[in-house]
Structure 1
């Protein structure tokens, strides 16, 4: 009876360790990989939008000159 309980608690503890490791690993992946990639994506999107706006303003000024 006692040895069955010890096996159950030991197995549960081992599974808990892997579960906790998975959560910590996922959180670190998000912090170190996914969030910087998302920040670069947003920065590139904003830069391209800014370039398009500047280009259209430049073309509009050129049309007004002629």
Structure 2
């Protein structure tokens, strides 16, 4: 079974010095005991309904397998 970290480019981060623009990814979660990225997304959303409520765009998720 595999383990994935799920990131999104959506949302904002503000630097302490507001003169600087911060571009980064936000971590939505880590999913374990799945075989594919699609299974990881489904499991993440089932276990964290707030992600849908917050209106994140699932098609923009970035997944990396953790070894």
TM-score bucket (shorter structure): under 0.3
What TM-score comes out, normalization by structure 2 length? Answer: 0.22
Pair member with larger Rg: 1
Task: Work out which structure has the larger RCO, using CA pairs closer than 8 Å and 6 or more positions apart in sequence.
Answer: 2
Q: Which has the higher strand share?
A: 2
Please report the TM-score for the alignment, with normalisation by the length of structure 1: 0.23
Give the structure with the larger helix fraction: 1
